[in-house]
Amino acid sequence: MTGQNDQGSAQGNNTVRLGGSGNVLTLSGGGQNSVDVTGSGDTVNANSSTVTLEAGVGDTVNGSRDTISVTSGATLTASGASDTINLAGAVGRLGESAVVGVEGRRTT
């Protein structure tokens, strides 16, 4: 899905590449969804899905039990419950009442 300020939805097992800006993608139904986000200012609404934010984007992911990977220079705003968020040189903003565990190695 590529464009500006578009809205899209799908049900079932989906693999989506989301580009452009200001888009809203809603995934529902059973199955495993996978989203690769290459545009900024987009919103992904999904549960139990795998979402990857590519380098330099700034996007929002709403939903529960998602696995979200945020690559270098990307910014994530997330809301939901029981999400797994992998940050690699990225910035994450978590919603109110979020519980966060941080793992990593110490560098000096």
One digit per residue, the tens of pLDDT, for the chain of length 108 reads 888 999 999 888 889 999 999 999 999 877 789 999 999 999 999 999 999 999 999 999 999 999 999 988 888 888 888 888 888 766 666 665 555 555 555 555
52 occurs within a structural domain: yes
Count how many domains the chain has.
Answer: 1
In a domain, 59, yes or no: yes
Alpha-carbon distance of 54 to 65, in angstroms, equals 20
pTM of the model: 0.83
Residue 5 inside a domain? The answer is yes
For residue 25, what are the domain limits? 1-63
Residue 26 tokens read as: 């809603």
Spatial separation of the C-alpha atoms in residues 1 and 37, rounded to whole Å: 10
The answer to whether residue 97 is domain-embedded is no
In a domain, 35, yes or no: yes
Q: Domain for residue 108, yes or no?
A: no
